[in-house]
Structure 1
């Protein structure tokens, strides 16, 4: 049995990622979850402060102490904080940001000179996602254009259907207008299946992140 750690800022995502990680692993795994909504609330109001990075680092250190083979941080707003934590604690145990796999795949689909549309419902996610996409393109030796659209935050009311419908409508608006559409937050993933899209690939982070965690922990 291999243990894998996951840090969430949205409690509802724990079950989603639990299922994805166990499905992606060919061997028995035991996901261990840490849920801390304070991290996202603080990042949205005050930015990714040193206190946020310290608290995230403490969660990762706790999971490492429990013997996990790798840690996935499922909040895209904390993507750059995740990288800081990895730099601080060292790479002996992989620490994965949720959107890295999605960014690499988006750049691959867009190609040199391609256009990537980023949809987000939380403003604090936009900058980290854009910067990640450009870094992924640079590592691939190509250049891409990244355009972002910030949507309303219906999910906060607890009404999933209006949220998903809003995201699906935005996806459809970009159909044919970009080489690939990226959904910046894991909570947006369910909306992709509701969009009327015929030509433009749509990427969300959860499944790709789960696969990346499994790959980096040599379970695949």
Structure 2
């Protein structure tokens, strides 16, 4: 049985992502490592502190010890750590937003990025620009920070969170061909935002798991060859 270790910096995405795994990869062994102190440390610092990076690398190494075939890094805010760790970890590390970013630059020129936290917005913008550079594509990035939305969610007011995100999406959609959701936890809003803005919306959870599935399938085929 193949094993995937998903590493979370918060609680919110674990259950929704588990359902995607059950749909797309029902026969794998899925292990979740959740340390919800990490995203708080990133948000307070406004960047990824060294201690957070060290903890994440420790979790990647632990995933190796658990027999993981693939590691899924589920938090876009710490995607840069996953990128660097690929050079020292002996198994593939998938950034949950990697495929989403590649799809965006392959199909659209004006890309709006929606986030509720600056610590997620900036890494996602960098990732998309990196994918564009790799593909030789010219893209225009439009930042969409829904200020106050994350705080509303923390206060237990998801309706206010959704309202602020929707307002931001409508504004960004005026100058964008596609909307990219920087946080996987925002995927539940994908359809509502697309309908409200008449603009395609991309989210990361499903495409991230699809990338994991592709790697696992390729590994099985290589063993058979």
TM over 0.5, shorter chain: yes
Residue 218 of structure 1, CA deviation = 2.2
Residue 164 of structure 1, CA deviation = 2.4
Aligned to 1:78: 78
**Does residue 1:67 correspond to 2:67, yes or no?**
yes
Instruction: Provide the C-alpha distance between the structure 1 equivalents of 2:207 and 2:163, rounded to a whole number of angstroms.
Output: 23
Structure 2 alignment gaps of length 5 or more: 221-225
Aligned to 1:96: 94
Instruction: Provide the C-alpha distance between the structure 1 equivalents of 2:192 and 2:172, rounded to a whole number of angstroms.
Output: 14
Aligned to 1:121: 116
Residue 19 of structure 1, CA deviation = 1.3
Instruction: Provide the C-alpha distance between the structure 1 equivalents of 2:11 and 2:51, rounded to a whole number of angstroms.
Output: 21
SS in 2 for 1:71: strand
Instruction: Provide the C-alpha distance between the structure 1 equivalents of 2:211 and 2:38, rounded to a whole number of angstroms.
Output: 23
SS in 1 for 2:10: coil
**Does residue 1:161 correspond to 2:159, yes or no?**
yes
> Does the 8 Å CA contact 1:3/1:29 hold for their aligned counterparts?
yes
Instruction: Provide the C-alpha distance between the structure 2 equivalents of 1:168 and 1:30, rounded to a whole number of angstroms.
Output: 37
Correspondence for 1:133 among 107, 118, 128: 128
Instruction: Provide the C-alpha distance between the structure 2 equivalents of 1:64 and 1:161, rounded to a whole number of angstroms.
Output: 40
Pick closer, same or farther for the CA change 1:175–1:48 going to 2, 3 Å.
Answer: closer
- Greater mean deviation of Cα atoms: 158-167 or 46-55: 158-167
SS in 2 for 1:52: helix
Instruction: Provide the C-alpha distance between the structure 2 equivalents of 1:57 and 1:156, rounded to a whole number of angstroms.
Output: 27
Instruction: Provide the C-alpha distance between the structure 2 equivalents of 1:12 and 1:190, rounded to a whole number of angstroms.
Output: 11
**Does residue 1:40 correspond to 2:39, yes or no?**
yes
Residue 35 of structure 1, CA deviation = 0.5
SS in 2 for 1:217: helix
> Does the 8 Å CA contact 1:73/1:98 hold for their aligned counterparts?
yes
Q: What TM-score, normalized to structure 1? A: 0.90
Q: What TM-score, normalized to structure 2? A: 0.88
> Does the 8 Å CA contact 2:101/2:131 hold for their aligned counterparts?
yes
Residue 176 of structure 1, CA deviation = 5.0
* 1:162-216 Cα distance to aligned partner (Å, 9 max, x none): 2223223332333453111111111111112222346421111111111111112
Please report the RMSD computed on the Cα atoms of aligned residues, expressed in angstroms.
Answer: 1.8
